[in-house]
A = this chain, B = another copy of it.
Amino acid sequence: MTIDIVTLENLLSERKVKEAKSLLKSADKALIAVLLDQARGEYKSKIFLLLDDDVASDVILDVSDYTRQEILSHLTKGKITKLVEEMESDESTDLLTSLPRRLVKQILKYLTKKERTSIEKLLTYGEDTAGGLMKVEKVLIREDTLVGEAIEQIRKQNVENLHNVFVVDKKGRIKGVLPLRNLIIAKNNTKVSKIMDRKVVTANVSMDVEQVARLFKQYDLYSMPVVDSTNRIVGRITADDVMDVIEDEAEEDLYKLSGIGADERVYDPIQKAIRGRMPWLVVNLFTALLAALTVSLFEGTIQKLVLLAVFMPVVAGMGGNAGTQTLTVIIRGIALGHLNKKGMKRVILKELSLGLLNGILIGAITSIIAYLWKGKPLIGFVIFLAMVINLLVAGTVGTLIPIILKKLNIDPAVASSVIVTTFTDVIGFASFLGIATILLSATTI
């Protein structure tokens, strides 16, 4: 029997719990997470309760935000506490932040004092900061320790997923990073300060996670110490956490550019999808109406020459396409931290030239086709001029809008797209119909 959501839900509705449980045993964690996302309503928590604690504590963090909320709302405090105990401190914190405050307080009471203190501390940091990403589990070694003693300390502390230890001075300030490989290769009576890596890349607890990810990539890190304002080590960020950040950030840009709520997943229910998508559609509707208002100013012109209505969406649409291309390159440039003051001038010059060139090329192709199709050379001329103007505008606003939004501390990915297409729509219609109006008053197209 292969496992799929329909089979699984049927087994549960017939109360064949044993069969369902053994079916789930055959699935890997990734598939279980997908099945939980696919399950309808209360089946989510019913399936979840069939899982072993170690599997459950893994998949609860892999399912969609919606599924997690749905499952947690059906679990007892005791069960949630068990899950929290299975996790490393950063994961426990991630799980607890999805719960109401009052419930978190109650669950924290069940934990050991040590666990409680770490998690309470971690909960104070913002989700998008190094503090919110780190775990507290780490090994600190004093700089005058010998290799043999260091190994003894690592044995005692027994921290999981350990790839390097941090070397500190008497006051607990970071002095170096010591990869376990160096420790293994060294002799037992060597001082750790001799074999540690003195070039340490650290993150302050309040550093933005995007910046943390950039440092990981830049220095090919596996693990990074997090320090507080007095330069004392409070935690550790590991490569697996950073992979999630990199994926999430890139996905966020994609979602924002398409106008979708940041956390929508393919199996989320309609209510959730509509909450994320509808506001964006309404905003777009009003900008579309602004474009309609522009067209409305030229009703008289269109009445004289209906052919204009045929070509006007082409000019506006091509502006939108070219604007989106520019926008995407600029937004990635900003996200990767590549744009700076002196470089900006070169970029603006590039995009303006490109806009002009695009306009001339696309304008020429379109006007030739329009002439061959409809046999009116002046319509071709109007299209050409309007296309050059609009693609120049597309290049300009596609470059400047995200840069300006970034300066104003507004996320360029979320607002740029709608502003740029509003410009290209309005300018596209206005230039095309405006030029036509002038020509029509002077001659017959």
| Known contacts A37-B338, A295-B313; A318/B221 CB under 8 A | no
A202, chain B: closest CB distance, angstroms: 14
B239-A341 in contact (CB<8A) = no
B251-A324 in contact (CB<8A) = no
Name the segment of A16-24, A169-177, A300-308 touching the other chain: A300-308
Q: CB < 8 Å: which of B179, B214, B282 contacts A30?
A: B214
Contact with B along A361-380 (1 / 0, CB 8 A): 11001100100000000000
| Known contacts A240-B221, A260-B329; A353/B250 CB under 8 A | no
A274, chain B: closest CB distance, angstroms: 6
CB-CB < 8 A to A162: which residues of B?
181
Interface size class of A (residues with CB under 8 A): 35 or more
Q: CB-nearest residue of chain B relative to A304? A: B306
Q: CB-nearest residue of chain B relative to A28? A: B218
Q: CB < 8 Å: which of B180, B260, B299, B362 contacts A310?
A: B299
Contact with B along A35-46 (1 / 0, CB 8 A): 001101000000
Name the segment of A71-79, A109-117, A226-234, A262-270 touching the other chain: A262-270
Q: CB < 8 Å: which of B154, B313, B332 contacts A288?
A: B313
CB-CB < 8 A to A347: which residues of B?
266-267
A260-B342 in contact (CB<8A) = no
A354-B273 in contact (CB<8A) = yes
A244-B258 in contact (CB<8A) = no
A27 to B378, CA, bound (A): 56
| Known contacts A302-B302, A314-B285, A358-B278; A266/B217 CB under 8 A | no
Number of copies: 2
B259-A4 in contact (CB<8A) = no
A292-B311 in contact (CB<8A) = yes
A281-B154 in contact (CB<8A) = no
A51 at the interface (CB under 8 A from B): no
A137 at the interface (CB under 8 A from B): no
A259 to B322, CA, bound (A): 9
Contact with B along A387-416 (1 / 0, CB 8 A): 000000000000000000000000000000
A361-B325 in contact (CB<8A) = no
| Known contacts A34-B338, A284-B318, A325-B259; A5/B184 CB under 8 A | no
B254-A350 in contact (CB<8A) = no
Q: CB-nearest residue of chain B relative to A240? A: B220
| Known contacts A251-B332, A333-B266; A306/B302 CB under 8 A | yes
A430, chain B: closest CB distance, angstroms: 13
- Can you list 23 pairs linking A and B with CB atoms under 8 Å apart? A4-B341, A5-B342, A30-B218, A30-B337, A40-B346, A151-B184, A154-B181, A158-B185, A221-B240, A222-B238, A239-B240, A253-B254, A259-B324, A273-B329, A285-B318, A288-B313, A289-B366, A295-B309, A295-B313, A296-B310, A309-B312, A313-B429, A317-B425
List of 9 A-B pairs having minimum Cβ-Cβ separation, nearest first: A250-B250, A266-B333, A239-B239, A258-B328, A220-B240, A309-B309, A180-B180, A4-B342, A288-B314
Task: Point out residues on A near B: beta carbons under 8 Å.
Answer: 4-6, 28-30, 34, 37-38, 40, 62, 151, 154-155, 158-163, 179-181, 183-185, 213-214, 216-218, 220-222, 238-240, 242-244, 246-247, 250-251, 253-255, 257-260, 264-267, 269-270, 273-274, 277-278, 280-282, 284-285, 288-289, 291-292, 295-296, 299, 302-303, 306-307, 309-314, 316-318, 321-322, 324-325, 327-330, 332-333, 337-343, 346-347, 350, 353-354, 357-358, 361-362, 365-366, 369, 425, 429
Contacts A29-B218, A260-B329, A284-B318 given; 14 further ones with Cβ under 8 A?
A30-B218, A40-B346, A155-B184, A180-B184, A217-B240, A222-B239, A239-B240, A259-B324, A259-B325, A266-B329, A267-B338, A302-B302, A303-B306, A313-B316
